[in-house]
Amino acid sequence: MVEAKTTDNWPTTPESEMAARIRDFDWSNTPLGSSADWPQALRAAVDLILDASFPSYVWWGPDLVQFYNDPAIDVNGSKHPGLLGTSARTAWPDLWGIVGGIAERVFTTGRPERGEDVPMVPDRGGPKQTAWFTFSYSALRNETGTVAGLFITGIETTELVRAQMALRDSEERHRLVIESWAQAVWETDANGMVVADSPSWRAYTGQSLQEWLGYGWLDAIHPDDRAYAEQQWREAIAARAPVNADFRLRVPGNGWRWTNVRAAPRFGSEGHIEKWVGINIDIDSHKRAENELRISEERFREFGRASSDGLWIRDAKTLKLQYASDAMEVIYGLSNEAMTADPMAWPALIVPEDRDETFGYIERVKAGESVVHEFRIQRPSDLQFRWIRSVGFPLFDERGDVSRLAGISSDITEQKQLTEHQGILLAELQHRVRNIMGLIRSIGNRSAVGASSVEDYRQALEGRMLALARVQALLTREANAGGSLRDIIEGEVQVQAYHPHQFNLIGPDIILSPKAVEVLTLAFHELATNALKYGAFSVPEGRLTVHWSQFEKRGSPWLVIDWVEEGRPPQPPPTRRGFGSELIEARIPYELGGMGKVSIESGGARCRIEFPLQDAESILETDAPMPLTTFGGTIDMTGAPNLTGRIILVVEDDYYLAADTVAALRGAGATVLGPCPSQETTHDLLKTELPTHAILDLNLGGGGPKFDIAQLLKARNVPFIFITGYDPDVIPPELADVPRLQKPTPFRTIVEAISQL
């Protein structure tokens, strides 16, 4: 077999032969596959047996693939090391008739069982002799609570079996067997001085007869246990009562083993103690097992103290809390003392509508199932409602009955909120993408108007798309906090100017809102492009000055920007109002609430822009939910339904979409009210005007969908339609029958929808 070490150097148990063999074994040729892919439950089980001081095995998976520890090497005898990684069914053919049924039942039911006094013939280097072992079979569960393997521990009971066999024969044969034991019988006089013993005892302790007789037995006791043993003996003599004590005795080789000493007085005819008769029983393996259990329990408690999830154990009948980790107090907002004192304190925290279902899951655990359940509580420490996920599983007693319920409780409130928020973000993403597509469509259509050639159209469209890309990059780099006015202007003009001295930027450092960045970047791009084609940047001697400053207007800060070109060569006056002029003179007032004016003079273009400095979102922001818009294009309503006589209110916060919708409706013969960019302006208009129909955008000014105007129109019996980037599940039930058009929407579809109201 080609050995392939694991990449993580696991297991790391020091000075362990089996840890090294497991680490170097080529597991890829077994049903378990590479050890790097093993579940944590399997690794934990292997670590547990490697740390155990008595023979222990792990049989994992449906094939019962076998692991064992160093103490089990002696039990395996000549089968070692060939048993590692093999199926237990094929590894123990001579025993499978005895242990196979036990293993299959534990694997199926998850309930522990024992194999009592199983005979084996281990190869221990000498003549082969039968030895007896008692094995305990326990279920190993994976992270979902499903039985995935078996944990087997063994204690050799050879001496006990032989003793029982000898006792069945005769007292004399029993005596002979006792003398061959590591245990021993002995007698003392009335004062506790040894007067007789079995030879096996001296062989066990390594003392000679002279050393042992009298009070020499005290020298064989571990120094730390000596005072205790002597005290137990003196108290028994004084009380004339039996003694039963555990302590450590020296064995050959200067080692120490735990022994149990039991002695009883023998009384004479007059009631005086004549002698003491005692027996020593080697209990070292049991003591070590108890120590392993104590260490394991302490590790569990340390794990509980460190875990952010709550660990708990309850009595299956009363539901009384028997153990709760520290995290339970944080999760439930109630002290462990309070939950322990009153079994009903915990159920009282569960919200009423979740309580019956939660009790149903508890009954399933009591019936032997492992379940995962989510429910809500109201935490008394801060009165918050919290979502709890509880993983519950049964703990079985030695009879296989469910005696306790255990579980792990986690506060998943943030996970629930994140999942819900993710859905909101997805809806916002869909909304934004649809509106950005509308914006691109609108810019594409407007770029076609007035283009003299395909190449002229391509250059105009490419420049505007690159300007949008620069806006998005700026907002992303600044975490959607807006951008510097100087950086925006400089970024647009320096790519068009002949040299850096051709332009002069004068003004204080001002950070604009994301919406202002979006609008002004496109505006300065149009101005700079026009300067290159027809203005100051078309000749090396041309000059541009951009000056800006803040001022107060109606108690709010405003920004004024002056764009002044000089040195433009003579040009005929413009014959049309272009994309840039519409953007500055119409979109800036509409979306920024200010004003914009462009004029062409002898030296070049002059532009003045004024608007209030206030927060507003851009459709190009990338992290948080925000209002999105779509933009229309030139509308051809030839053959569309006739809307003559209809008075239609348009509510839309994006300038382009509002303007294009108005154009489409008017092209179909309708009278248009608005357009209105906000709820406030809409309410003001409805104070004096009554439309026959209406078109509503759901996201006015950002912050998600709003339905105030819709409710008002419904109360006034005005039919209307929604135009939105949101999915239908955001619309409340009382408005579910309102027709909804998804952005971006062909304007002919809008006209047709209005005509069908």
Q: What residue spans define the domains of the chain?
A: 17-156, 174-287, 307-411, 481-612, 647-755
d(CA 242, CA 262): 7
For the cut 60, the answer to whether the pLDDT of residue 327 exceeds it is yes
For the cut 60, the answer to whether the pLDDT of residue 83 exceeds it is yes
For the cut 50, the answer to whether the pLDDT of residue 635 exceeds it is no
Question: Would the CATH topology of 17-156 be identical to that of 174-287?
Answer: yes
Give the global pTM: 0.35
Higher pLDDT, 308 or 476: 308
Kindly report the number of other CB atoms within 10 A of residue 713's CB atom.
Answer: 21
Average pLDDT over residues 117-137: 80
> What is the SS3 assignment for 502?
helix
CA neighbours closer than 13 Å in the CB half-sphere of residue 613? 20
Angle, vertex CA 173, rays to CA 267 and CA 257, nearest 5:
75
Assigned fold of 17-156? Beta-Lactamase (3.30.450)
Condensed to tens digits (0 to 9), the pLDDT of residues 529-562 reads: 888 888 888 888 889 999 999 999 888 899 999 9
For the cut 50, the answer to whether the pLDDT of residue 190 exceeds it is yes
Span 481-612 CATH architecture: 2-Layer Sandwich (3.30)
Average pLDDT over residues 94-109: 88
For the cut 50, the answer to whether the pLDDT of residue 631 exceeds it is no
**pLDDT recorded at residue 455:** 67
- Segment of 65-69, 228-232, 658-662, 724-728 carrying the highest mean pLDDT: 65-69
Assigned fold of 647-755? Rossmann fold (3.40.50)
3-state secondary structure 658-712: HHHHHHHHHHCCCEEEEEECCHHHHHHHHCCCCCCEEEEECCCCCCCCCCHHHHH
Among 235, 259, 256, smallest CA distance to 245 is for: 259
**pLDDT recorded at residue 178:** 42
Looking at domain 174-287, does it have CATH number 3.40.50.300? no
Higher pLDDT, 675 or 204: 675
Average pLDDT over residues 187-214: 69
- Segment of 7-16, 562-571, 581-590 carrying the highest mean pLDDT: 562-571
Average pLDDT over residues 280-298: 74
pLDDT class for 330, splitting at 50, 70, 90?
confident
For the cut 70, the answer to whether the pLDDT of residue 516 exceeds it is yes
| Distance spanning both ends of the chain, measured CA to CA | 80
CATH superfamily label, 307-411: PAS domain (3.30.450.20)
Calculate the average pLDDT of the chain: 79
For the cut 50, the answer to whether the pLDDT of residue 633 exceeds it is no
**pLDDT recorded at residue 469:** 63
d(CA 189, CA 266): 10
Condensed to tens digits (0 to 9), the pLDDT of residues 218-259 reads: 777 888 988 888 888 888 888 888 888 888 887 777 688 888
**pLDDT recorded at residue 66:** 95
DSSP track, 421-464: HHHHHHHHHHHHHHHHHHHHHHHHHHHHTT-SSHHHHHHHHHHH
DSSP label at residue 570? P
**pLDDT recorded at residue 554:** 83
Pair 553, 547: CB distance under 8 Å: no
d(CA 424, CA 744): 19
For the cut 80, the answer to whether the pLDDT of residue 566 exceeds it is yes
Among 282, 216, 277, 278, smallest CA distance to 248 is for: 282
Condensed to tens digits (0 to 9), the pLDDT of residues 335-380 reads: 888 888 887 777 777 777 787 888 899 899 999 999 989 888 878 7
Condensed to tens digits (0 to 9), the pLDDT of residues 148-181 reads: 999 888 888 888 788 777 656 544 543 444 444 4
